[in-house]
Amino acid sequence: MSKKTKSIRERKKKNIAKHFPKVVEGDRVALIYDLTLNKRTFPKKFHGLTGKIVRKQGNSYVVKFLDGNKTKTLAVRPVNIKKLN
């Protein structure tokens, strides 16, 4: 098994707490690209970057982060957000 694949147990397990993170505007979050989701997420090159939540937009959160020297914003689903301390 390569390092990029998850075990069968991890692929089938659904964590409902991941879908409803407790975040508010101004919180620092990390963008996590989850391959187990069937729906399209953000581009893979943004995986692991950290940013701040600007606002909530529908079911998603708008996250502002730096990509090199440029400031970028993305609308990211709550499943792909991990709150940092």
13-71 per-position pLDDT tens digit? 667 777 788 899 999 999 988 777 767 788 889 999 999 999 999 989 999 999 999 99
The sheet that has 81-83: what strands, in order across it? 70-76, 60-67, 50-57, 28-31, 81-83
Q: Tell me the CATH number at 23.
A: 2.30.30.70
**pTM, rounded to two decimals:** 0.77
Give the confidence band of 85 by pLDDT, cuts at 50, 70, 90: confident
CB neighbour class for 80 (10 Å; exposed up to 12, middle 13-18, buried from 19)? buried
Please answer whether residues 83 and 29 qualify as being in contact, where contact means their C-beta atoms are separated by less than 8 angstroms: yes
pLDDT confidence of residue 20 = 80
The count of domains in the chain is 1
pLDDT confidence of residue 6 = 72
- 1: in domain: no
Q: Which amino acid is at 19?
A: H
Indicate whether 9 pLDDT > 90.
Answer: no
Tokens representing 42 are: 């953000």
Structural domain range at position 28: 8-83
Indicate whether 1 pLDDT > 60.
Answer: no
- 35: in domain: yes
> What is the number of residues in the chain?
85
Indicate whether 7 pLDDT > 70.
Answer: yes
Tokens representing 60 are: 């998603």
